[in-house]
Structure 1
């Protein structure tokens, strides 16, 4: 969403803040529906969010102290890097197993890193967390989905407040995006069922990598 808004001419800082609001609203529905169908590992989600709190606070300080123009330039560069990284992790998801013994301390550290990343790009929470939980902590993929939705909701909600405080949110645009969610989900479900989930995921990740590359070129 954020890179799409930037390509449409929205200021990078406003694109991130608006996307965080949009993500918060849509994830509320995600948590509701997932809670009805499967259990959610709140113990993991809460630890991730606890690690993210200092990152959100630090992000708020940076947003207030650094000039808007400088922020916009660096947000675009960072977003390009994170998009490419996220796409690569998605393509590798479940295919490699890192020889690291899982510890709760790593969950807090992961929360901090992802919290800082999402704070300035609005992307990466689902992909980075799910990749790490499956390949390092060996968490059941069915549990990972619930964790990323709940954690993503809490993180996007608190991160959005930072952008709202500096006037970095377009509420009218966010409303239009939310309004388009239902028909988008309906259409996406039909496309996914006819094409096949894995094939569609690979195509989407390749598109994300290309967009990330274009953003990096744009900053040069």
Structure 2
């Protein structure tokens, strides 16, 4: 990539990092649509590069949460039991579809664009309805699953998330956190965040290596995004208490809806 374009990607990484730090919304929900819509990066490359980006950043986040003892490793194990095999199967299917040679506008490119759009809209749903769902669960004990049923539901739910993440790079963050809230309402917010980040590391790593084998990871782009995002997340985290969360989530939901519509047009 030319140097001036690198600067633009660094700035994009900084902007996405700020938003992730401010709102807690997963970077994939922001980064992949940004690369595809604003910069015209092929959907396959945007997904593969963002998965590598997520594996690195979530790995760093897991170390912090491990030190703070805010990871429920039993739930991480169940989530990985569903998501990692599902990711491997999805990668095998993508290999069969010859994704390496899929150009812009090809059937597989259109399919991935639609997948990204659907995952973005699921993220918007989480942004809008998260508080109401949490309150409903807290006030409706009968809605909470028994231990055995909850274990099975965890594996199945995260298997679906594993497929979504591998195809679109979106879902490990906001959607994964929402599933954890619904299945484990007794967990503290810090444990939800730590567990959500920790399970996503094996998933995004496996998916990223799969996309690397497909030739859909752009390492120049990856490096530029990392340079911008690391200080962005740090600054955003410090500023998060100074900016009204409801306002931020409203702006983010509106923006993501517009991006999702643009992706499929």
TM-score normalized by the length of structure 1: 0.91
Q: Identify which range, 123-132 or 19-28, moves more after superposition.
A: 123-132
Mapped contact 2:120–2:170 kept (Cα < 8 A) = yes
Corresponding residue for residue 55 of structure 1: 86
Q: 1:191: Cα distance to partner?
A: 4.6
Corresponding residue for residue 109 of structure 2: 72
Q: 1:90: Cα distance to partner?
A: 2.3
Alpha-carbon distance in structure 2 between the residues aligned to 1:86 and 1:139? 22
Q: 1:203: Cα distance to partner?
A: 2.0
Q: Identify which range, 186-195 or 158-167, moves more after superposition.
A: 186-195
Mapped contact 1:133–1:139 kept (Cα < 8 A) = no
Query: How many pairs were matched up?
Result: 217
Q: Identify which range, 79-88 or 66-75, moves more after superposition.
A: 66-75
Corresponding residue for residue 195 of structure 1: 243
Structure 1 residue 83 corresponds to structure 2 residue 120: yes
Mapped contact 1:94–1:134 kept (Cα < 8 A) = no
Structure 1 residue 43 corresponds to structure 2 residue 74: yes
Q: How does 1:156-195 map to 2 (within 5 A)?
A: 156-189=204-237, 191-195=239-243
Alpha-carbon distance in structure 1 between the residues aligned to 2:239 and 2:72? 30
RCO comparison, higher one (Cα < 8 Å, 6+): 2
Corresponding residue for residue 116 of structure 1: 163
Which 5+ residue runs of structure 2 have no aligned equivalent? 1-30, 138-142
Q: RMSD value over aligned CA atoms? A: 1.7
Structure 1 residue 4 corresponds to structure 2 residue 34: yes
- In structure 2, the CA distance between the partners of 1:136 and 1:177, relative to structure 1 (3 Å rule), is same
Q: 1:205: Cα distance to partner?
A: 2.5
Q: How does 1:95-114 map to 2 (within 5 A)?
A: 95-96=132-133, 97=136, 99=143, 101-102=145-146, 103-114=150-161
Q: 1:172: Cα distance to partner?
A: 0.8
Corresponding residue for residue 181 of structure 2: 134
Which 5+ residue runs of structure 1 have no aligned equivalent? none
1:162-185 deviations in Å (ceiling 9; x for gaps)? 100010100110011001113312
